Amino acid sequence: MPQTLTTYEKIGGEDAIRKVVDYFYELVLADDTVNQFFLNTDMEKQRSHQTKFISFALGGPHQYSGLSMEKAHEGMNLQPVHFQAIVNHLHDALAHFNVSESDISEALAKVGSLKDSILNK
């Protein structure tokens, strides 16, 4: 039986994810709903963390070793509207690089499972 490729492998691994993340942050930083959360952020470090996180969400290696989702977002007063804006931008960034809707849905389901941790609920 042929081995099934992960979404991570299908789209080209970490190099491809890096491009998705760069485009994702273009969308995020242009969005007044959420861009204020990144005003004092080291974006190079943020992109690196996000590349590892999205790689993992798409079935790649688990390399994320940063703060827990709760700790990373503590004190930010994130609301569901902010979470949804980020999810929408991730969807659009993946779609921009021709990731299939079924693979996007799978990735967004993994991200969605972290919603309560990210919103500190």
Domains in the chain: ranges and CATH: 11-118 (1.10.490.10)
Residue 68: both structure tokens together? 């827990």
With a cut of 80, say whether residue 3 has pLDDT above it.
no
pLDDT attached to residue 35: 96
pLDDT at 121: 74
Give tens-digit pLDDT for 16-29.
999 999 999 999 99
pTM: 0.89
pLDDT in tens, 39-76: 999 999 999 989 988 888 888 887 667 778 888 888 88
